Structure 1
Amino acid sequence: MLMTILRPLINPTRRIAVPAVASIMITFSAVGGAAADRPDSFADQVEQLSPAVVNISTTTIVSEG
């Protein structure tokens, strides 16, 4: 009875096909997420992020002697 239950899992074609299909599905789902919602141009991104840019400068005065 145990072999009857495990027989579909032992099939060599299924042992290769299931991981192959799973890896293809994972690959294509990751590609779709990376391409979503990106700006049309670099100028759009600069316009959106420019208020967050901060310029910090320091001045050091060195005295002689």
Structure 2
Amino acid sequence: MPRQFMTNQFDLFSGLRNGKMAEMPQWQELPEGTRQALTALIVRLLVDHASGASASQQKEADHDA
């Protein structure tokens, strides 16, 4: 039987703050610079995934040069 994860990554540390669940901010509430940075990171992740490369492989290759 496949393992099912019951916790979202965003919730991992919410128990450390008075037992309250941290609320995920809405995209529109994030500062413009943060939205641009996240968009660029997500695009890079998707392009790297589509090309079959992982970030760790690229980072290691940069150190070899």
TM-score range, shorter chain: 0.3 to 0.5
Larger Rg, first or second structure (1 or 2): 1
Q: Which has the higher helix share?
A: 1
Structure with higher RCO (Cα < 8 A, 6+ apart): 2
